[in-house]
Amino acid sequence: MPILCEVSLPHGGSQYNWGEICYPPVETIHKDNICHLVFAPLRAAFPDIASRARKITEEAVMTFTGAGIYGVQLFLLEDGEEYTQVYRLNSECIVQEIC
């Protein structure tokens, strides 16, 4: 999957208050599918990407029960497609892919 860039948003909270911790999106640049650079704040050339990424994040975490730190990654592929991945860090900092 040739990645043009990735937009990531860490988000934390509980099923009772998902707005507790929502960090601004950051952009990562990959080389050979490995994260090479991280830009904060987001500098993506796509003007609506920050709002789209935040909307996807909010919609995803609202479906979860329980509390935790979730990461949402929006991958922009070289062919113009998008791919989204959601994961959760558990107490041992092990990533659990959700979707």
User: How is the chain split into domains, by residue range?
Assistant: 25-69
- Percent pLDDT > 70 in the chain is 77
Please indicate whether residue 93 or residue 9 has the higher confidence score (pLDDT). 9
What average pLDDT does the structure give for the chain?
Answer: 76
pTM over the 0.85 mark: no
How far apart are the two ends of the chain, measured CA to CA in Å?
Answer: 17
Ramachandran angles phi, psi of 58, nearest 5°: -60, -40
Using DSSP bridges, classify how beta strands 95-97 and 26-31 pair: parallel, antiparallel or unpaired: unpaired
pLDDT-based confidence at residue 42 (cuts at 50, 70, 90): confident
Quote the CA–CA distance of 96 and 88 in Å, as a whole number. Answer: 5
pLDDT for residue 3 is more than 60: yes
